[in-house]
Amino acid sequence: MAGIKDVAQAAGVSVATVSRALSGNGKVSEATRSKVRRAAEDLGYVVSFNASSLASGRSRNIGVVVPTVGRWFFSTVLEGITNELIEAGYDLTLYNTGGQDQHRESVFSDLLLRKRLDAVITLTLKLQPHEVQQLASVGKPVVAIGGLIPDIATVRVDDFNLAALATEHLISHGHRDIAYLGGTEEFEVDFKLASARQDGYEYALDQGSFPVNDEWLLTADFTIQGGYRKVRNLLASPRKQPTAVVCASDEMAFGAILAARDLGWKVPEDLSVVGIDGHDLGELFGLTTIAQDARGQGAAAVRKVLELLGERELERDPTEGFYPTEFVARSSTAAPRSSALGA
């Protein structure tokens, strides 16, 4: 059976370099790391996890804390995290709080402090000062995905300007009667995502000197079904109707499109719809959206964790400034018809 010396000889490097390359502890260039891994694979050499952990004090395990796995954004971010961790040779331990305070308290006061993790990634959880202190007390690097947290490296998008851009797109097409479909109060718990995006929508209308119609401010649960119900009720009303709707998520935008079609409205001739997310089904629906690259955010958080652990060097720090997004124009938006329904 091949040993570490055999790998070092085959790769043309020192035993110490092989140890650093395969354990992930210490800085090794990507070219050298790849060469060592190829040599190890060719020789059938496998690092002893227990020996490596004892020697390095590392578990090669990253904890990820999420409020739910039942939403597209969270599951897609997790996919990005998982793929990047596998590439780096790390395991993942998932903590799903289910949005319950007692579960969250248990995670931060007990599970994360057992020193079985090298670092922690949190998704859209606004860490409280005592939670940050609990993690700091055991020396665990923390990277967050979501809103800004003091003293915590965070991968985040500019929710306010995303919604403003979506609204400005509709205004540029000549729309003046624009509804907004945002999130319910439960999505305000941590980073006020729902209100941040609504604020962006209202700001864009204000900049265009267009009034906000309170009857067109809708809330749902970021699902297709929730978006469908709210938009269908709005469009079925005998009162004046909007010619466009900004949706705070792509899934709610899908529901809006389905509701309009079920009532005989044409999209975009009778109703333009724009979303925010970059959902995989957006192309199928022809949805104009602002893609926030959920998978990329997850992968970026892992790369930042590896930097904090001293394993990688970053050309660009994803936690400095906002994570880049992309406006994607499709067929769900167009200029309003002069004879729009309800006009």
The tally of CA atoms less than 13 A away on the side-chain side of residue 318 is: 26
Do 166 and 147 lie in one domain? The reply is: no
Count of structural domains, the chain: 3
The rounded distance, in Å, linking the Cα atoms of 85 and 77 is: 12
DSSP of 230-245: HHHHHHHSSS---SEE
Which CATH number does the domain housing residue 10 bear?
1.10.260.40
pLDDT of residue 99: 66
Residue 189 belongs to some domain of the structure:
yes
Pinpoint the alpha helices (H) of 237-324.
Answer: 250-262, 282-285, 294-308
Residue 90 belongs to some domain of the structure:
yes
Residues 6+ apart with CB under 8 A from 311: 24, 25, 26, 27, 88
Residue 115 belongs to some domain of the structure:
yes
pLDDT of residue 228: 98
pLDDT of residue 184: 74
Residue 271 belongs to some domain of the structure:
yes
Do 286 and 165 lie in one domain? The reply is: yes
Which CATH number does the domain housing residue 266 bear?
3.40.50.2300
Task: Say what the pTM is.
Answer: 0.80
Do 171 and 286 lie in one domain? The reply is: yes
Do 126 and 32 lie in one domain? The reply is: no
Do 220 and 144 lie in one domain? The reply is: no
The rounded distance, in Å, linking the Cα atoms of 271 and 133 is: 49
pLDDT of residue 208: 95
pLDDT of residue 199: 95
Do 69 and 90 lie in one domain? The reply is: yes
Residue 333 belongs to some domain of the structure:
no
C-alpha to C-alpha distances, 119 to 21, 140, 301, nearest whole angstrom: 19, 5, 11
Residue with tokens 């990634």: 121
Do 200 and 212 lie in one domain? The reply is: yes
Q: Which residues pair with 178 in a beta bridge?
A: 244
- Domain assignment of residue 44, given as a range: 4-56
Do 70 and 49 lie in one domain? The reply is: no
How long, in residues, is the chain?
343
Do 66 and 147 lie in one domain? The reply is: yes
Reading the block at residue 99, the tokens are 């949005």
Do 107 and 194 lie in one domain? The reply is: no
Which stretches of the chain score pLDDT less than 50?
A: 49-56, 188-189, 339-343
Do 105 and 51 lie in one domain? The reply is: no
Residue 86 belongs to some domain of the structure:
yes
Residue 332 belongs to some domain of the structure:
no
Residue 339 belongs to some domain of the structure:
no
Do 105 and 197 lie in one domain? The reply is: no
